[in-house]
Copies of this chain bind each other. A is one copy, B any other.
């Protein structure tokens, strides 16, 4: 059932790499918000003339998020849909062939397939798929924004000559009715669903198709279970990482190498240093960005201990959201993805032995792949206003060429005015982000405003779900809201600020709890307040109609802001509860850093009382909506505390596929996504604008909201949060 589909030819959108949105002529719709395509993986053909990529996109009819595999001719832009499946991931060229491979769930779990340019999809490894990733009973591990995913093949790697295949298959362990003790019981405290266990088997397949088992790995080896094996092929060996866990639960990376000739594995390094990202530079050293502030040194740390500095750039390599990196076969060139510091966007830096240079312009380059020589490449380019498009890269000249849109429907939207901003708050800390202006903004009136925040995910990607979740920023702008897509102040702006973040992330006692609180969450609040104040002072925003929304890390910001500040009349807080006492036992180290101990420690309790949202219900004035994928006790406690203080509050739990499954932190069920966006619209329209929409699926809630509104003890007086002792 391969459908051939000409999405949009280069004749229409080709040419210069710039937003095609000038073609647009209409406003955003709810359906546009839902169907923003998410490109997950991409691979160029060996000859560099074509590429394949996968988009994940909501399918309203089936109420599932589906994966679509497309083939694009890089000369013409002609695009064909090759396959539509529940899951497609890890596209790779198969060296020495014109084909690709990918992990695909065609209905019998995620397996490894060969994809020919003509669209033929044939099995390479099909393993009975019993281990499940997802938010469901008996899942082996949690998933990330997808339906429960039975998985046979977890990861794979081709040798550069294409003769060898290294791959991992999973086998779920059957439930055994056994007793558990101590740590195995305590781990249940934070668990909603009962978890399953699995083992992983690492195989090496030779060119005759013979498989050799390299290792059986236990459930605790998260390197193997999360596809973080850093596979490389050197000197007739395949290198890969595993994670060993000692009796005390301490993890260590172990670098292994297996002989291709014998299949025998050896330990290369017993305690290997492995971050999320690593790329070897032209001098055989490790590339990284160093320093603080608005520019960073691009350096290569050489094996001999010396450091080579390529210069100071307004970006950092190694960001988890940027393109990972590539190295030419001769080792003389590396290409690394970067993220800029100001107006965050993604690009590429080409690092040769002597110097580094930049590829990319105003748009972000995400998901790139290159030919083996690193001469020609293909990327997905996008920006706040530019829907993702396929672009080709000529590495020598650094030229990029727009080939074809990934999202032709979204090209027809007239772009909203989206202004990159850098805000400096009263404490002198900087926060980046964007103002999305209402369509047809007029200077002579004040507008309602909504801050949308999620840590540092506000950047030049197109309506990115990780950033705006189910807060439909573009629709809000269409409806007349000024939308502030705001990052929290970035940790690397100074060494001192970074030290605060390191204290939190590494759970040290380097800085006292109150300083950590003041300079992270309370400072976030001050950033939001000051950004809004600036627009109020400028006559743009109506101070009586300001809201705030955020999920996950953003929910921390929202929950703290709403219980510290009197500026925000309404909020939507998504699926988070960190900072609440209920999570203390599961996150004791982290909480000890933030609060100085458990809430039942009389010395620590005052530190909770000054910042824990649920303990400050009687300080809150605005209406809070808590949208949940999971009924977290912490979030329930916040809801309960707000209601006890008669502060308008609602907690809404979005359902999973079935009784045994939950919606995921990043929502994946289209009907939930639609409803959550509609609920946010109804919520802000009601509490900020006093508007009701009888056609809203949430119109049935108005009576309850009226009741809460009447009973509310306080109106927000617009004042900022007070300095804390």
Known contacts A609-B602, A633-B189, A660-B194; A585/B640 CB under 8 A: yes
Pick from A173-181, A363-371, A564-572 the stretch touching chain B: A173-181
Partner of A188, one of B186, B653, B675: B653
In the complex the two chains form, is A181's CB within 8 Å of B650's CB?
Answer: yes
Task: Using CB atoms, name the residue of chain B closest to A186.
Answer: B636
- Give 7 A-B pairs besides A181-B651, A188-B636 with Cβ atoms closer than 8 angstroms: A177-B656, A181-B650, A185-B639, A188-B653, A581-B600, A585-B637, A600-B609
Within 8 A of B (CB), among A646-669: 650-660
Closest Cβ of chain B to A33, distance in Å, is: 19
A431 to B639, CA, bound (A): 43
* CB-defined contacts of A177 to chain B, threshold 8 Å: 655-658
Given the complex, which residues of B lie within 8 Å of A240, measured CB to CB? Answer: none
A196 at the interface (CB under 8 A from B): yes
Nearest to A655 among chain B residues (CB) is B177
- Which B-chain residue is minimally distant from A608 (CB atoms)? B600
When distances are taken between beta carbons in the complex, the residues of chain B under 8 Å from A263 are none
| Contacting residue for A605 out of B585, B605, B653, CB 8 A | B605
The answer to whether B602 and A639 touch across the interface, beta carbons within 8 angstroms, is: no
- Given the complex of chains A and B, what is the CA–CA distance between A394 and B223 in angstroms? 76
Q: Are B175 and A651 in contact (CB under 8 A)?
A: no
Looking at A179, A194, A656, A659, which has the most chain B CB atoms within 10 Å of its CB? A179
The 9 closest A-B pairs by CB, nearest first: A188-B631, A175-B659, A185-B653, A177-B655, A189-B636, A180-B653, A185-B651, A189-B633, A186-B636
Does A339 touch B at the CB level, under 8 Å?
A: no
Determine which of B196, B606, B675 lies in contact with A179 in the assembled complex, contact meaning CB atoms within 8 Å.
B675
Q: Assess whether A138 is interfacial by the CB under 8 Å rule.
A: yes
Q: For A181, give the chain B residue with the smallest CB separation.
A: B652
User: When the two chains form their complex, are residues B582 and A628 in contact, meaning their CB atoms are under 8 A apart?
Assistant: no
User: Does A599 sit within 8 A of B, measured CB to CB?
Assistant: yes
Q: Is the interface of A mostly helix, strand, loop or mixed?
A: mixed
Q: A185-B652, A188-B631, A652-B185 are in contact. Are A585 and B585 (CB under 8 A)?
A: no
| A59 CB–B CB distance under 8 Å | no
A182 located at the interface, meaning its Cβ lies under 8 Å from any Cβ of chain B in the complex: yes
Judged by a CB distance under 8 angstroms, whether A615 is at the interface is yes
| A655:B185 contact, CB within 8 angstroms | no
Complex alpha-carbon distance, A602 and B636, angstroms: 21
Query: Would A186 and B659 count as touching, CB distance under 8 A?
Result: no
Task: Please tell me if the beta carbons of A602 and B600 are within 8 angstroms of each other in the complex.
Answer: no
Which of A137, A182, A188, A609 has the most CB atoms of chain B within a 10 A radius of its CB?
A: A182
A residues 129-145 with Cβ under 8 Å of B?
137-138
Contacts of A633 in B (CB 8 A): 189, 585
Min CB gap A69→B, angstroms? 28
Chain B residues with Cβ below 8 Å from A639 are 182, 185-186
**Would you call A175 and B658 a contact (CB within 8 A)?**
yes
Contacts of A184 in B (CB 8 A): 653
- Give every chain B residue within 8 A of A615 (Cβ-Cβ): 600
Nearest B residue to A628 via CB reads B185
| Complex-state Cα separation, A185 to B631, whole angstroms | 6
Cβ-defined contact, A182 with B585, below 8 A: no
B659 touches A137 (CB 8 A): yes
Assess the B196–A653 pair: CB atoms within 8 A. Answer: no
Q: Which residue of A137, A605, A631, A655 has the most chain B CB atoms within 10 A of its CB atom? A: A631
> Is A652 within 8 A of B179, CB to CB?
yes
Q: Chain B residues with Cβ under 8 A from A196's Cβ?
A: 659
8 A Cβ contacts from A538-560 to B: none
